[in-house]
Amino acid sequence: MSASAVHSLWTTAATAAEPISKIDAPKIEYAQLSPTLIVIGAAVVGVLVEAFVPRKSRYYTQVFVAVVALAAAFSAVVALAASGYGTTKAHIAAMGAIAVDGPALFLQGTILLAGILGVFTFAERRLDPEAHGNRVDAFAAQASSVPGSDSEKAAVKAGFTTTEVFPLLLFAISGMLVFPSANDLLTLFVALEVFSLPLYLLCAVARRKRLMSQEAAVKYFLLGAFASAFTLFGIALLYGYAGSMSYATIAHVVDGTVTNVDPALAGTMGNDVLLLMGMALVVMGLLFKVGAVPFHMWTPDVYQGAPTPVTGFMAAATKVAAFGALLRLLYVVLPGMRWDWRPVMWAVAIVTMLGGAIVAITQTDIKRLLAYSSIAHAGFILAGVIATSPDGVSSVLFYLGAYSFVTIGAFAVVTLVRDAGGEATHLSKWAGLGRRSPLVAAVFAVFLLAFAGIPLTSGFAGKFAVFRAAAEGGAGALVVVGVISSAIAAFFYIRVIVLMFFSEPKPEGPTVAVPSPLTMTAIAAGVVVTLVLGVAPQYFLNLANQAGVFVR
Amino acid sequence: MSFPLLTATAVLPALGAIATAAVPAAQRVAAKWLALLVSLGTLALAAVTLVRFDPDGARYQLTESHAWIPDFGVRYQLGVDGIGVALVALTALLIPFVILAGWHDADPMETGSRRWRPTQGFFALILAVEAMVIISFEATDVFLFYIFFEAMLIPMYFLIGGFGDRAHEHGDEAAATQRSYAAVKFLLYNLVGGLIMLAAVIGLYVVAGSFSLQEIVHARADGSLHMATSTERWLFLGFFFAFAVKAPLWPLHTWLPNAMGEATAPVAVLITAVVDKVGTFAMLRFCLQLFPEASKWATPAILVLALISIVYGALLAVGQRDIKRLVAYASISHFGFIILGIFALTTQGQSGATLYMVNHGISTAALMLVAGFLISRRGSRLIADYGGVQKVAPVLAGTFLIGSLATLSLPGLAPFVSEFLVLVGTFTRYPVVGIIATFGIVLAALYTLVLYQRTMTGPVRAEVAEMPDLRVRELLVVAPLIALLIFLGVYPKPITDIVNPAVKQTMSDVQKTDPQPEVEAAK
């Protein structure tokens, strides 16, 4: 060994040892990330509240913290959008991990509003009859006690309530806020887990029909874990392909504009097999979250088993977050691959629209019915995703906003119709509801008509927007399939209306509970948004249009 | 800015519907009067529209145009031509009679809660339908038209499914099931038609980049908008399908007998005399103007379907045992005539078709409402349950006879003029079609006269012996309608004067001229 070689060993060692002090602190734009940070902070506060605040006042403290935090986060989103971060100042923050742009802010705003209404429905305590003199909500007295056991009875008697649902909800929301704005694959995955895990838990804590609720949670968790694993595997393959987790870099590699190959990855980098497989697996994970056929199997069971306020929130917000992430992935990372993914997504959209609508016809449980309806809606939204145009993005954004309010409102109405066993979700029990409580039935009919896409409701405006974008994007055949499945779907929405208004009420039928102002607010907001977006959608279409450009 | 007359004509019943629905449960009589007053107010506005309309003026008059959803390229754009104004007037004219005839149809039964207010709902829904029908006659923006074309299904659906012939079906599960079946059938047929049209509406926007009727027609006329032949044909079919379901045209007609049979007589009138007219009207306004080439291409097939409707509807009417279903099949036959007149593509044919829409509205209303009075007395829709009514209730029988004669197009009554015009218009271009269509008239004489004979003549049946004659309210409904039938039968000029210029315009859009008499060539 020569002296110079030895010397070089020394020098290398010296230079390697030296720069430790020179690692730059990551640059975090706290103001631009404030919506997420506020919600995470509040969630942590919520955990502390569980630990330190006396049991009696926990409920009020938690509701207060959650509502204030979500409202503050929403104002932060509005402030960011008002100062131009949605349009001209859109950029990538947090060292390339998170995008602050129009779609991200629009979807975060939608998720936060859905979250506020979600908190309202979570906090409802007037629907169930009082247990041992305590007002109770939709959640188990003590989630850890075995259903039907003595410890459960003791917990109910002691008047315990699971106020942990509020911090869990906030954690889920924080994950959902990051999900559509994630700008690298690792952030995407972390956000996915952060919002999924609290949701699995929330599904398991129903006060009534606890076994069904726990079964739903286990199913959701197992299938969700599979989906996460697929996503993670896909991420690994994409890293092997591009040598980076960053959306921008992967996009450049796909376009062939990156030439400096990482020597460690020289064997795999730019290998299209990795790209195609990785893309397929990541997209699969996202399609699972939106509930698209053939990854929809969890939807009906989970929607039915979960406590109804959770179902309403999850149905709305998860869809928003997941479609946001899917849009960003397909439009920012993989636009260069659209000739590969479009045919596949075509097929997925078609089977999702038709599958959801056809299977829904045979459902006899209102929550399962709404679950299949949500699958069909996922198909309609996919039609907008496939448009691959700015109109496609804005139409999907608009649809998601419109849809989430209808969904939360509809599930909130479901919580009101009750009999001795809790919520009366079997359709036969809804017979004659229109005679008994015309107002509730009429409100539910408005939501159903919006789901069916009847003009003058938000559902029609949204459907028209995505179908138009799809038609302009050359997917005319998808529009025809969409129209046909709308017609099929209309059948079962109308069946419920027939039941409510044209059937004779049964003598031992359910009663409609009078809710507190909280649920009423959620329902009223749903109705107002549904009608306003149906009659005068222009302002919101403008918002969605301005928000329709991704930053790269 | 001048007073937005067209908007007011549609908004007044809409507001009236909301106000009627808000009337407290105990005040149902007040709700009825409110609805009647609103419908009369709408009639007054429609009358002003008719007076202000200048038949020799611009094509679309009293126009209004405001931005609505610029992002979709949609404008709130109204305007009426002669055809539109005549149909707005017809709608506004018939609704007060519908309300008056249905005065007691929605009186509450004892089931249901205190808050269940069927009476308020019934009249509010009628006014809502009126508002939506009027605005679809006025819309000159395809999207605006589509929205109300679809939305009117919902109140109509509740009217059919929610209110039956209460007098005799109280607590009758089977009747309630049949009624909700009819309502669902009505809604599904029309919704499927409407959704297929939605695909065509989107397609039209993708091709034309606009929803404005005038803009598209102009762009097509001056060649700046070219549509490929196959595109035009597909779009035409999408539009036509929806209108053919609504009209209804054989073989898409099967919802009508169910709906008309199960609904109360006033609602049946609302369906066939008012709502269905939107279908035939839209063929004239949208199919012919937007897709002239495709319209000519499809004419032979449509004429055949219309002929089948005429003959098939009439044959089935002959075979009916149920009075209301008989009128429904008769209507299908008559809609066949209207569509025949439209697609014969002659001036007489289209004038006749438009006149036919108005006259059919009035004559069906007269016949159906009297039939409804008859049915409410006996509690049965079956023809066989009646007999000899003319001896017990001569006024009822007399008005029923006039309604029947109008339905068979007796000269001197209004429908004769329009049917004659349609046949002449068809015959000049398609002699064979005209000859076959004439069988429809013969069959019409058969089914109406047999109906009259079986129910009104012969020995008095025990069940009808105590039947009271028409009451004052019922006379108030029937007398003006019959007066109109006679007046328009003798002197149809007021309507033809308004309609003819619009028809000539439509004909020039389709670039068809009337065939010249071929006396010279035959030499």
Question: Which DSSP letter does residue B115 get?
Answer: T
Of the candidates B184, B198, B199, the beta carbon closest to that of A494 is on: B184
Q: Chain A within 8 Å of B205 (Cβ-Cβ)?
A: yes
Q: What is the pLDDT, as a whole number, of residue A14?
A: 47
The answer to whether the CB atoms of B205 and A468 lie below 8 A apart is yes
Query: Do A541 and B72 count as a contact with CB atoms less than 8 A apart?
Result: yes
* Shortest CA gap A383–chain B (Å): 13
Rounded to the nearest integer, the mean pLDDT of chain A is: 87
Chain A: residue whose CA lies nearest to B208: A472
Residue A282 has pLDDT above 70, yes or no: yes
- Rounded Cα distance, A470 and A395, in Å: 10
Is position A396 within any domain?
yes
Do the chains contact at A479 and B202, CB–CB below 8 Å?
yes
Q: How many CB pairs below 8 A link A and B?
A: 107
Count of domains for chain A: 1
All residues of chain B having their beta carbon less than 8 Å from the beta carbon of residue A461 are: 69
Chain A residues with beta carbon closer than 8 angstroms to that of B146 = 455
Asked whether residue A13 is domain-assigned, the answer is: no
Query: What domain range includes position A479?
Result: 27-546
Contact across the interface for A502 and B187, Cβ inside 8 Å:
no
Which among B153, B158, B203 is the nearest to A471, CB-wise? B203
Residues of B in contact with A479 (CB under 8 A): 199, 202-203
List the alpha helices (DSSP H) in B139-210. Answer: 142-151, 153-162, 166-169, 173-208
Contacts of A437 in chain B (CB under 8 A): 113, 115
The token pair that represents B57 in the structure block? 């003026």
Instruction: Nearest by CB to A464, from B72, B179, B196: name it.
Output: B72
CB contact under 8 A, A538 and B71: yes
Residue A74's pLDDT is 95
Q: Is the CB of residue B188 less than 8 Å away from at least one CB of chain A?
A: yes
- What pLDDT shows up at residue A340? 85
Give the chain A residue whose CA is nearest to the CA of B181.
Answer: A498
Using the predicted structure, report yes or no on whether residue A526 has a pLDDT greater than 70.
Answer: yes
Q: What is the pTM of this model?
A: 0.89
* Interchain CB distance below 8 Å, A468 and B72: yes
Residue B167 pLDDT: 47
Burial of residue B167 (number of CB atoms within 10 Å: 0-12, 13-18, 19+): middle
The predicted structure's pLDDT at residue A378:
93
Chain B nearest-CA distance from A68, in A, is 35
For residue A516, give both structure tokens. 């507190």
CB-CB neighbors (< 8 A) of B148 in chain A: 455
Q: Give chain A positions within 8 Å (CB) of B195.
A: 483-484, 486-487, 490
CB contact under 8 A, A468 and B192: no
B69 at A interface, C-beta within 8 A: yes
Residues of B in contact with A459 (CB under 8 A): none
Is the model's pLDDT at A423 over the cut of 80?
Answer: yes
Instruction: For residue A11, tell me if it sits in a domain.
Output: no
Q: Is pLDDT of A15 > 60?
A: no
B445 touches chain A (CB under 8 A): no
**Partners of residue A449 in chain B, C-beta under 8 Å:** 154
**DSSP-derived secondary structure for B222-274:** TTSS---HHHHHHHHHHHHHHHHHHTT-TTS-THHHHHHHHS-HHHHHIIIII
- Separation of alpha carbons A534 and A457, rounded Å: 4
C-beta separation of B120 from B107 below 8 A: no
Please indicate, yes or no, if residue A199 is contained in any of the structural domains: yes
Entry field: residues in chain A: 552
pLDDT-based confidence at residue A396 (cuts at 50, 70, 90): very high
In this predicted structure, which of A236-240, A330-334, B403-407, B503-507 has the lowest mean pLDDT?
B503-507
Q: Which pLDDT value is given to residue A70?
A: 95
- Cα distance between residue B116 and residue B307, in whole Å: 46
To probe the interface with B, which of A443, A468, A503, A546 has the most B CB atoms within 10 Å?
A: A468
Measured in angstroms, the CA of A296 and the nearest CA of chain B are apart by 26
**Chain A contact present for B115, CB below 8 A:** yes
Q: Which residues of A touch B113 (CB under 8 A)?
A: 435-438
Q: Residue ranges of the domains in chain B?
A: 5-515
Provide mean pLDDT across the span A410-431: 86
Count other Cβ atoms within 10 Å, centred on residue B468. 11
Chain A contact present for B206, CB below 8 A: yes
pLDDT lower than 50: segments of chain B: 111-113, 167-168, 521-523
pLDDT, position B522: 42
- Whether residue B195 and residue A501 make contact (CB cut-off 8 A), yes or no, is no
Q: What are φ and ψ of residue B56, in 5° steps? A: -95, 10
Residues in chain B within 8 Å Cβ distance of A438? 113, 115-117
In a domain, A15, yes or no: no
Of A464, A480, A494, Cβ closest to residue B187: A494
My answer on whether omega of the bond before B251 falls inside 30° of 0, hence cis, is yes
Enter the tokens of residue A223.
Answer: 């299938």
Mind telling me how many Å the CA of A307 is from chain B's nearest CA? 30
Greatest mean pLDDT among A31-45, A93-107, B280-294 lies in: A31-45
Structure tokens at B328: 């429904």
The residue in chain A having the minimum alpha-carbon distance to the alpha carbon of residue B145 is: A455
Cβ contacts (< 8 Å) between B69 and chain A: which residues? Answer: 461, 536-538, 541
DSSP string, B151-166: HTHHHHHHHHHH---H
* Residue A4: inside a domain: no
Alpha carbon of B157: minimum distance to chain A alpha carbons (Å): 10
Model pLDDT, residue A181 = 92
Task: Note whether residue A472 is domain-resident.
Answer: yes
Which 3 state secondary structure label does DSSP give A25? coil
B143: which 2 tokens? Answer: 């999207």
Which of B161, B188, B203 lies at the smallest CB-CB distance from A476? B203
Q: How far is CA B14 from CA B18, B53, B122, B197, in A?
A: 7, 23, 14, 25
Inform me whether the pLDDT recorded for A1 exceeds 50. Answer: no
Residues of chain B with Cβ-Cβ distance to A484 below 8 Å are 195
Query: CB A439: neighbour CB atoms within 10 A?
Result: 10
Interchain contact, A494 vs B146, CB within 8 Å: no
Inter-chain residue contact A502 with B180, CB threshold 8 Å: yes
What residues are paired with A365 via a beta bridge? A426
Measured between CA atoms, the residue of chain B closest to residue A439 is B115
> Could you give the percent of chain A with pLDDT greater than 90?
46
Burial A240-264 (b: 16+ CB within 10 A, else e): bbbbbbbbbbbbbbbeeebeeeeee
Minimal CA separation from A159 to chain B, in Å: 35
pLDDT greater than 80 at residue A521: yes
- Cα–Cα separations (whole angstroms), residue A87 to A38, A306, A321, A549, B72: 23, 38, 20, 8, 22
Confirm whether A7 is domain-assigned: no
Q: Which pLDDT score is estimated for B475?
A: 86
* Chain B residue with the nearest C-alpha to that of A467: B202
Query: Using the beta-carbon criterion (under 8 Å), do A471 and B206 form an inter-chain contact?
Result: yes
Give the residue numbers in A contacting B (CB under 8 Å), as ranges: 434-439, 449, 454-456, 460-461, 464-465, 467-468, 471-472, 476, 479-480, 483-484, 486-487, 490-491, 494-495, 498, 501-505, 536-538, 541-542, 545
In a mutational test of the B interface, the residue from A460, A472, A483 whose CB has the highest number of chain B CBs within 10 Å is A483
pLDDT of residue A177: 94
- Chain A residues in contact with B199 by the CB 8 A cut-off are 467, 479-480, 483
